[in-house]
Structure 1
Amino acid sequence: MLEKDEIGLGIESVGQWTPHKWCLLFSVTTVFVYGLIGMTCAIATWFRTWPHADVMYVADYDILVLITLAASILLLTSIVGLTGTLLNSRPILAVYALLLWPSLISMLCIGYIGYKRSALSLDRKLNLAWSQWYTPVGRLIIQDSLQCCGYYNALHDATPSIRCYSRTPLPGCKGRLYRFEQENLGVVWSTVFSLVPLHIFNIFVALLCANHVTKRFGKGITPKGYRLTRVDLKLADGRVGRVVVPELSRAPSSMTFREDRAY
Structure 2
Amino acid sequence: MINSDLLKSFIAAADTGSFSAAARQLGRQQSTISSNIAKLEDELSVVLFDRKGKYPQVTEAGLALYDSAKLALDSAERFENSAALISAGSPVSLTIAFDEDLPLSPFMTWLQHIHKKYPIMQVRLVRKPSTQIFELVKNNQIDLALTPSLESNSSFYEFTAVGHIRYIFACGRQHPFRHKRQISNDDLATSTQVVASSMLESQLIQAVAMSSQRWYCEGYETLLAALQANIGWAFIAVDQSAPLPEGIVSFKPDFSATHHSAQYDIIWPKNKILSEIECQLRDQLATVVANMNKQT
| TM-score, reference length from structure 1 | 0.24
**Rg larger in 1 or in 2?**
1
* Greater share of strand: 2
| TM-score, reference length from structure 2 | 0.22
